[in-house]
Amino acid sequence: MTPNHIWLILLAATGVTFWLGESGLSGSAGMAPVLVMFALAFVKALLVMRDFMELRHAPALWRWLLQGWLVLVTTGIVLAYWIGQR
């Protein structure tokens, strides 16, 4: 994919996330819209890390460390949100 394609994907994902957040679905429809928003944020972060930070061709250790950090942070935020909703 070219940087222009990735930028368009990031733009579309940002638009969907904004729409979900502003539509009020995140409060009334349960966890599903929130999980979609976090999944989109996760994909966006992966695309930025791999393509704009050029980790796609970096040593495997760097890729695993940063992607692992992303998984831990995203999981922690989703878990905190879920606990807060209970």
- Is 72's pLDDT higher than 90? yes
25 vs 17 pLDDT, higher one: 17
Place of tokens 């905190």: 80
Residue 28 confidence class, pLDDT cut points 50, 70, 90:
low
| Predicted pLDDT at 45 | 95
Residue 22 lies in domain? 3-85
Q: What is the pLDDT of residues 51-66, one digit of tens each?
A: 999 898 999 999 999 9
